[in-house]
Structure 1
Amino acid sequence: MTARRRKAEKRHTPPTTVTGTVRVDARTKDLTKRLQAGDVAVIDHDDLDLVSAHALVACRPAAVVNAAPSTTGAYPNRGPEILLDAGIPVLDMAGPTVMEIEEGSTATLEGDALSVDGAVVARGVRLTEALVAAQLEDARTNLSTQIEAFSVNTMEYVRAERQLLIDGIEVPPLRTNLQGRYALVVVRGYHYKEDLHTLRPFIREARPVLIGVDGGADALLEQGLRPDLIVGDMDSVSDRALTSGAELVVHAYRDGRAPGLERVEALGVTDAVVLPAPGTSEDVAMLLADDKGAELVVAVGTHATLIEFLDKGRQGMASTFLTRLRLGSKLVDAKGVSLLYRSRISTLSLSWLVLAGLFALVVALSATPGGRAVLGVLAVRWDDVWAWIEGLFR
């Protein structure tokens, strides 16, 4: 069976007509926090990215209505393909009026028309597998242009931020000790759940400092792990994570402005650290770990490829490029760690250890009169049990 055939068999055919409660939000990541199974998700998202699409699929909506084009052709984004593969119908380019639909109302998507209370409120383009495939093929022809522009922007920003490579960032004192320890930096990005699951043996035995970058803190909590540090502008992390007891480092602009600090203080957290620094929050988290003496920095869900950066709407990767240059071999990807790292104690070794312990116990008991008496009683009991078992089969 070919890979293409296997993929086709996994796909679910989206229903022609669906009805559900409307949930509206211009920010897809905010919408997924309250989106329930069977709802109709109304978004305004140009070039729907992979991470947002997976977040929508996890909520199991009845349909997705996008006011904007889910694929503009700027680059081959796979978000629409992910939704269709999951059997979720998508109405594309429905127009800005859909963002005015009252949340909580009941909407019906039938063909290319969206109706509320029986009246058609918008029409768009109903995405199909053939249409999405054609859009992706057209977008691939523009990729060379994107690569050229991306490279130019990156080099311009590298020249402007070259001090980041030379001096790093000035990190204020922290109560979390990273000196000589491993650090696990978690971003809620590509395949973060799978990576965290495969890193279980590493986390259990190495006990790294757990650093959540914004929503990465919630990713740790979902796995039953409590973050030691939360780094970010605090716009996509839950109140539960912010009040979990982790030390908070609010990523601020270079001039010291920290919009996320107000939210943190409103939750009663008064000891948050403000860290003005260039670049992205995930870069700041890695530089912080490096500055505080972490021996190894393991990255989960971070962005590395051109498509991943374009998915995030970034036109360059200067700070990420400089950060990786500065950390050098100290920085490793989670997938590499999961492939190389194995639990030091295998199940077979543990079984032999238990048997050896039981044998030692028997030897110790047989060396004393009291122990020999106990063993004699156990032997009689075992004979009784064995006789009972034989009786069942007679």
Structure 2
Amino acid sequence: MKFAVRSRPAPTLPGVHGPARLHRRTASLLPRLQAGDVAFLDHLDMDRDTAQALIDAGVVAVVNASPLISGRYPNLGPELLVQAGITVVDSAGLEVFDRLEDGTAVRIDAGVVHAGETLISPGRELTADVVRAEMGKARSGLTAQLESFTHNTTEFLRREQDLLLHGHGIPRTATDMAGRPVVVAVRSHGWEEELRGIRPFVREQRPVLIGVDRGADALAEAGHRPDVVVLTGDGDDQPGAAVLRKARDVVVLVERGSPRSATEHLERMGIRPLRFETTATTEDAALLLASGHHASLIVGVGMHATLAEFLDRRRVGLASTFLTRLKLGPDLVDATALPRLYDGAVRPRHLLGALVAGVLAVGAAISVTPVGQQWVDDVSPVVSRTTTDLIDNVRGMLQ
């Protein structure tokens, strides 16, 4: 007689487990990520937007070949990843891309990457304390970065002076923005809350909606149809085809003198894009587009408002952002501030005014009818006697 033998489950090894997804180029890796993956990439000084994209993808761990905080400036990406509870390892070295294949089951424990029983590469696990200490050191190195920023700003102004000063090169859109408010949406940290905050403004003012790259998807997910989509010509951060086809205008940023092939991938989709030849970032190009078409007000969703967020972006984009903000001046309002200025709420005094106006209108209408005239005739003697008695009493008091 044979007895069933219950097999014991293999002991679970410590650490975080998941399939490896590898690519040194961040923009190429992000679209392939799924929930539960371990992302392997090479991204020096990870910014906040990239970190948010990794969080949205649902990764359980991030392994970076280079340092996530080099010390050049206080970038916000690593802090956001750690706060989200994601295991973060940096300085793992480029050999991880040679020793691992895409989809390999990996385990990360105490900063060390394992594939089965094989040790792939040791790295440094970033905890909240480590990130805090590294960020403190990075803030002390801002002086050199600001000096470099001054030089880059001068160079950008030299290249784009016709665009910034005179609006030359801005494509003519089918969407009319003159005298209308415009909302420019960027898919960034906190964009969902910002869109919810300006919902009364969007519902009542009917602004022109411009989606920047995957910001067009963000608008669509929030129940809005973007009127204009502004995107880069390389297609790395391109929104969905359905969103692009529904937009009235699709504006593509290309380098000056770029051949027609830069927009062929959109033309094959049945879309006739407008070329915008500029070295500005897509976010800034969208703002300049709205300003060049004489928008009455521009509301920015998901944009960088604070000094830390302003610095935490691509180094080549700092000059573009700085000069664009200077050009727009008071025409640009951050979406986080708009609910404090405009909430669309009806005040009690508005209701009281409407009630009084309604009563007066009804009284005037009744007074011209036979019944109304009879009421006036009946009330007039009473009002007259009351007024006469009041005048006599006042005279008596004065004497």
Counterpart for residue 239 of structure 2: 238
Q: 1:199 to 1:258 in 2, by over 3 A?
A: farther
Is the CA contact 1:150–1:316 (under 8 Å) kept in the aligned structure 2? no
Could you tell me whether the CA contact under 8 Å between 2:175 and 2:248 is conserved in 1?
A: no
Q: Return the offset for 1:220.
A: 0.8
Deviation at 1:248, TM superposition (A): 0.6
2:289 is aligned with what amino acid? L
- Report what 1:290 is aligned to: 291
Structure 1 equivalent of residue 54 of structure 2: 56
Matches of 1:25 and 1:280, distance apart in 2: 24
* Secondary structure of 2:246's aligned partner: coil
In structure 1, the partner of 2:92 is: 94
Q: CA deviation at 1:178?
A: 1.4
Q: Partners in 2 of 1:281 and 1:78 — Cα distance? A: 21
- AA matched with 1:291: G
RMSD: 2.8
Q: Which runs of 5+ in 2 are unaligned?
A: 1-12, 355-399
Q: Is structure 2 residue 153 aligned with structure 1 residue 151?
A: no
Structure 1, residues 212-251: CA drift from partner, whole Å, max 9, x if none? 1112111111212111100121430233332334421111
Equivalent residue number for residue 344 of structure 2: 343
For the Cα contact (< 8 Å) 1:164–1:322, is it kept in 2?
no
2-structure distance, mates of 1:229, 1:183: 10
Pairing partner for 1:45 from 43, 58, 63 = 43
Question: Alpha carbons of 1:64 and 1:231: their partners in 2 closer, same or farther (altered >3 Å)?
Answer: same
**Aligned-partner SS, 1:230:** strand
- Pair 1:169–1:196, CA change in 2 (3 A): farther
Q: Which amino acid aligns with 2:250?
A: L
1:262 is aligned, of 253, 261, 264, to: 264
Residue 115 (1) aligns with residue 117 (2): no
Closer, same or farther: CA 171–316 of 1 in aligned 2, 3 Å: closer
Q: In structure 2, do the counterparts of structure 1 residues 325 and 258 end up closer, same or farther at CA, with 3 Å as the change threshold?
A: farther
Equivalent residues in 2 for 1:167-182, closer than 5 Å? 167-182=166-181
Q: How many residues end up aligned between the 2 structures?
A: 339
Task: Tell me the residue number matched to 2:124.
Answer: 125
Aligned match of 1:381: none
Q: Aligned equivalents of 2:244 and 2:202: distance in 1?
A: 22
1:169 and 1:288 in contact (8 A); partners too:
no
State the match for 1:82 in structure 2: 80
Range 138-147 or range 260-269, more displaced = 260-269
* Structure 1 range deviating more: 118-127 or 206-215: 118-127
SS at 2:252 equivalent: strand
Secondary structure of the corresponding residue to residue 337 of structure 2: helix
Which residue of the partner structure matches residue 137 of structure 1? 136
SS of 2:62's partner is strand
Contact 2:217/2:240 (CA < 8 Å) preserved in 1? no
Deviates more, 1:330-339 or 1:87-96: 330-339
Q: Which amino acid aligns with 1:85?
A: Q
The unaligned stretches of length 5 or more in structure 1 are 1-14, 354-394
1:256-300 Cα shifts (integer Å, max 9, x gaps): 44665122123232x211121242222221222222232111111
Deviation of 1:181 after TM superposition, in Å, equals 1.3
CA deviation string 1:108-157 (max 9, x = no partner): 11223212232112111122222222211111111122122222322343
Could you tell me how far apart the structure 2 residues matched to 1:204 and 1:99 are?
Answer: 49
Higher Rg of the two aligned structures = 2
Verify the 8 A CA contact 1:239 1:267 in the aligned structure 2: no
Contact 1:258 1:274 in 2 (8 A): no
Q: Give the Å deviation of 1:205.
A: 0.8
Distance 1:149 1:173 in 2: 35
AA at the equivalent of 2:44: D
Q: Report if aligned partners of 2:311, 2:318 keep a CA contact under 8 Å in 1.
A: no
Counterpart of 1:191 in structure 2 is: 190
- Amino acid of the structure 2 residue aligned with 1:264: L
- Rounded to whole Å, the distance in 1 between the matches of 2:148 and 2:284 is 22
Deviation at 1:30, TM superposition (A): 4.2
Q: State the partner residue of 2:386.
A: none
Q: CA deviation at 1:169?
A: 2.8
CA distance in 2, matches of 1:300, 1:61: 25
Q: Determine the structure 2 residue equivalent to 1:331.
A: 332
**Structure 2 counterpart SS, 1:22:** strand
Secondary structure of 2:295's aligned partner: coil
Secondary structure of the equivalent of 1:261?
helix
The 1:289–1:316 alpha-carbon spacing in structure 2 relative to 1, beyond 3 Å, is: closer
Q: Give CA deviations for 1:45-86 in whole Å, capped at 9, x if unaligned.
A: 111111222222233322111111111111112222222222
2:282 maps to what in 1?
Answer: 281
Q: Could you tell me how far 1:186 is from its partner in structure 2?
A: 1.0
Decide whether the 8 Å contact of 2:51 with 2:80 is kept in 1: yes
1:159–1:238 Cα change, 3 Å: closer
Aligned identity (percent) is 43
Matched, 1:105 2:104: yes
Closer, same or farther: CA 20–276 of 1 in aligned 2, 3 Å? same
- TM-score normalised by the chain length of structure 2: 0.77
* Distance in 2 separating the partners of 1:250 and 1:62: 34
Higher mean displacement: 245-254 or 31-40: 31-40
What SS does the corresponding residue of 2:31 show, helix, strand or coil? coil
Q: Which amino acid aligns with 1:294?
A: A
